[in-house]
Amino acid sequence: MSRFYNALKEASRSQLGADGKSGNEADAIGESGANIPEFLGADAIGENGVSIPELLDRAEPVEEKVPASQPLDPVVASKPAVSEAAEKSGPPAPRGDHPKVVFDPSARVIPHAADSIVVEYYRRLRTKVLQQHAAKPFRTLVVTSPGPQEGKTVTVLNLGLSFAMLPDLKVLVIDGDLRRGSLGKWLRVGEHPGLSNLLDGSAKLEDTVLKYGDGPLSFLVRGTSPASPAELLHSMDLRKHFQHMEEQFDLVLVDSPPINLITDTQLLAACCDAVLLIARAFQTTRKAFEKAVQDLAPFRVIGTVLNGGTKVQPYRKYGGYYY
C-alpha cells in the first residue's frame, strides 16, 4: 500500500513548482485533451492477497500523430474465445429508432485528444490489461474508484475506444451507475432504456444497445427504470444478463459507482470477472484508497490506474520517439 501512496506523493512533488503552486497539465492537453493514465500493476501483498499496485516504467510515446481509428498492438492471441453460436449471431442489432451516438464536444475522449501522447497512454493501458488477461482470461471488467470525480468514466470510455481499434474485437461499455451515471449525457443520447430496464424486465438487450458508428464498439446506458438501484442490482437476473452479454461481446467494460460510497460496485463485481481500480493524483487519499482495496479484497483486482498526473516532458529524442 505504501508503495502506491508514495507514487501519489512523487506525482505531487513533480507537479509543484518553486512557488509551491500546482502545474497540473494532465486534465487538459491542448484545447480538448484527455486525462493521462498511468497503469500501476497488481502485486499480491499481505496475508489476504489484496492486489497492491506498483509503479511501472513509462512507455515511449510516439511523436507523430496517429489516427485514432488505426488499429495498433493487435494482440489477438489474447482475445477470449467466443462460442460458435455467438460468432454466428454477433452483437444484437440495435433497432432503427435508436438515437445516434455522438460524443459531447467537451468529453475528454481519444477522438478529441489534441496530443498523440494521450492516445498512446491509453494504448499502453490497453496492453497492460491484455497482459493481465493473458495471465488469467476475463470477459467482464468493472472499473471503479474510491470516490467521485476520479476519472472512472473517462478511463472506461477511452479504454473501450482503444480496444475497439483492435481487429475483430467486439466491445460493450456499460454505465453501471444506476444512480448518477453520466454515460448517456456524454454520448448525447438523453433518456434511453438501458441496464436498469434490462433488470426490471421492461426491455431486452437488443432494445438498449447503442452502436458507435459502424465499428465494433457499443454502449449500454444506465436506463430509465424508476425502481430502486439497490434492489435492481440485487436481482438474481443480474448475473444472467452479464452472461448473455459475454456471449455477444468479447469484452464488457462496466463503469461503476465509487466503491467507498455505496454497495452497488460490490454487487456488480460479484457478477463480473475482474476489477480495475482508479485513483486520482492530488485527490485520492491514502485512507480512501486503503478502504477501497479492503472492500475489493474478495474480487480479482487486475491493477490500478493513477489518473490526473503531470504531462510527461521528454528529455531525449531519437528516430521519431521520445525517451
* 137 vs 82, higher pLDDT: 137
3-class DSSP state of 217:
strand
The pLDDT tens digits for 116-126 are 888 888 999 99
| 52 within a domain of the structure (yes/no) | yes
The pLDDT tens digits for 224-249 are 999 999 899 998 889 999 999 999 99
What pLDDT was estimated at residue 316?
47
| 72 within a domain of the structure (yes/no) | no
Q: What is the mean pLDDT of the chain?
A: 75
The pLDDT tens digits for 268-320 are 999 999 999 999 999 999 999 999 999 999 999 999 999 887 655 554 444 44
What pLDDT was estimated at residue 216?
92
- Alpha helices, DSSP H, located in 249-300: 264-270, 286-295
DSSP state, residue 3: H
CB-based contact 192:99 (threshold 8 Å)? yes
Q: What is the CATH number of the domain that holds 43?
A: 3.40.50.300
Percent of the chain at pLDDT exceeding 70? 66
Q: Which of 189-193, 205-209, 301-305 has the lowest average pLDDT?
A: 189-193
DSSP state, residue 20: S
| 62 within a domain of the structure (yes/no) | no
Would the pLDDT of 266 be above 90? yes
What pLDDT was estimated at residue 8?
45
* 10 vs 190, higher pLDDT: 190
C-alpha cell at 173: 461499455
C-alpha cell at 80: 477470449
| 64 within a domain of the structure (yes/no) | no
C-alpha cell at 105: 464536444
Q: How many domains does the chain have?
A: 1
The pLDDT tens digits for 38-86 are 777 654 323 333 333 333 233 333 333 333 333 333 333 333 333 343 4
CB neighbour list of residue 1: distance below 8 Å, 6 or more residues apart: 45, 52, 286, 289, 290, 293
What pLDDT was estimated at residue 101?
75
CB-based contact 155:67 (threshold 8 Å)? no
Domain that holds residue 199: 2-57+86-312
* 47 vs 256, higher pLDDT: 256
The amino acid sitting at 40 is L
What pLDDT was estimated at residue 65?
35
Comparing CA positions, the residue from 3, 5, 313, 323 lying closest to residue 146 is: 5
- The predicted model scores a pTM of 0.72
| 102 within a domain of the structure (yes/no) | yes
The neighbouring-strand residues paired with 142 are 254, 275
The neighbouring-strand residues paired with 171 are 217, 251
| 73 within a domain of the structure (yes/no) | no
